Amino acid sequence: MKRSLIGRIWPNATAVVLFAGFVFPVYWMFATAFKPTGDIIADDPVWFPTHATLSHFEKAVDADHFWTLVLNSVTVTVLSVLFSLVIALFAAFALTRMRFRGRRGLIVTFMLAQMAPWEVMIIAIYMLVRDNDMLDSLVPLTVFYTMMVLPLTILTLRGYVAAVPKELEESAMVDGCTRFQAFVKVIFPLLAPGLMATSLFGFVTAWNEFPLVLILNKDVEKQTLPLWLSQFQTAFGDDWGATMAASSLFALPILILFIFLQRKAVSGLTDGAVKG
């Protein structure tokens, strides 16, 4: 099929315009973070940080509690992703490799759990956590974040487990492995890329979580970065340089993770979507 010149130009031109539109806010965040304050509050925008400075980053990093909150966020995120991966691996294995009564019902349950309205259950969770004297602690955060990412982790891991040929496991068992050994020695290494891709979405969810930590942890020392960032701007007035530096620091780990894992994760999601 031969296309006219215009027919070939317009998709590419649209793609360039769209690319610019999607990237601009991200670019503007980093650009502002590096610009000296004089350039940020210029009458005409300075499009490139030609006089780049790190002073805004210093200000963000030197802000009270910053490193404590980084540690809190990393701890809560990494632990909840690990917990949900372990729990989900058992569940995904059972759901893909075994046939038993109630299997369909369980899959539907996890699909429904994935739609859980966490944002509107925060009052009930607050009461439960308070009644157990666990306010201002990282434990309930970790526990609930684990649950928030669990259903999706189960449902996506299922696709990866199913992709491992059944025969590999069987031949290992013929060679004298128990089912458990066959799993650990043969299947688990093959699942590693799938586990990495699956954990990306868990990581993003936990790293992003805002409403729960907003209500549960009033003690600044026990908060996480999203809450800190949402309050940063209030604390620093209209210091957009520092605010954008803080946002950049918060966004950077996720942006890097996404760039590394995106291709695998997207194909995993799509397989999940097509195969259910």
Partner 1 sequence: MSVQTEGTDTAGEPAVRKAGVPAPPPGEDRTSAGTPSRRAAAAPYLLLLPALLATLVLLGWPLVKNGMLSFQNLNPRQLIQHLTEWNGVDNYREVLTGGEFWHVVERSVVFTAVNVVLIMVFGTLIGLLLARLGSKMRLLLMVGLVLAWAMPIIAATTVYQWLFAQRFGVVNWVLDKLGWHSMADHNWLETQFSTFAVVTLLIVWQSIPFVAINLYAATTTIPRELYEAASLDGAGSWQNFTSVTLPFLRPFLYATTFLEVIWVFKSFAQIFAMNEGGPDHLTETLPIYAYVQGVGNQHFGLGAAISFLTVLVLLAITSYYLRMVLKQEEDEL
Interface of this chain with partner 1, residues 92 to 131, rule: CB under 8 A: 93-101, 103-104, 106-111, 113-128
Interface of this chain with partner 1, residues 68 to 87, rule: CB under 8 A: 86-87
The Cα–Cα gap between 216 and 141 comes to 8
Interface of this chain with partner 1, residues 167 to 186, rule: CB under 8 A: none
The Cα–Cα gap between 186 and 176 comes to 13
Length of the chain: 276
For position 26 contacting partner 1 by CB under 8 A, the verdict is: yes
Token pair 């020392």 in the structure block, residue = 221
Show the site string, 207-236: x = touches partner 1 by CB under 8 A, - = not: xx-xx--xx----------x--xx-xx---
Interface of this chain with partner 1, residues 34 to 63, rule: CB under 8 A: 40-42, 44-45
Judged by beta carbon, residue 217 or residue 247, the one nearer partner 1 is 247
Phi, psi values for residue 46, rounded to 5°: -95, 115
For position 189 contacting partner 1 by CB under 8 A, the verdict is: no
Alpha helices in 35-132 (DSSP H): 37-40, 55-62, 66-97, 103-113, 122-131
Q: Least Å distance between CB 222 and partner 1?
A: 17
The Cα–Cα gap between 110 and 87 comes to 13
Q: Contact with partner 1 (CB under 8 A): which of 79, 91, 182, 191? A: 91
In contact, 272 and 155? CB cutoff 8 Å: yes
Binding span for partner 1 by CB under 8 A among 48-56, 64-72, 187-195, 245-253: 245-253
Judged by beta carbon, residue 185 or residue 263, the one nearer partner 1 is 263
Judged by beta carbon, residue 32 or residue 199, the one nearer partner 1 is 32
The Cα–Cα gap between 144 and 123 comes to 14
Residue 158, helix vs strand vs coil: helix
Q: Least Å distance between CB 62 and partner 1?
A: 19
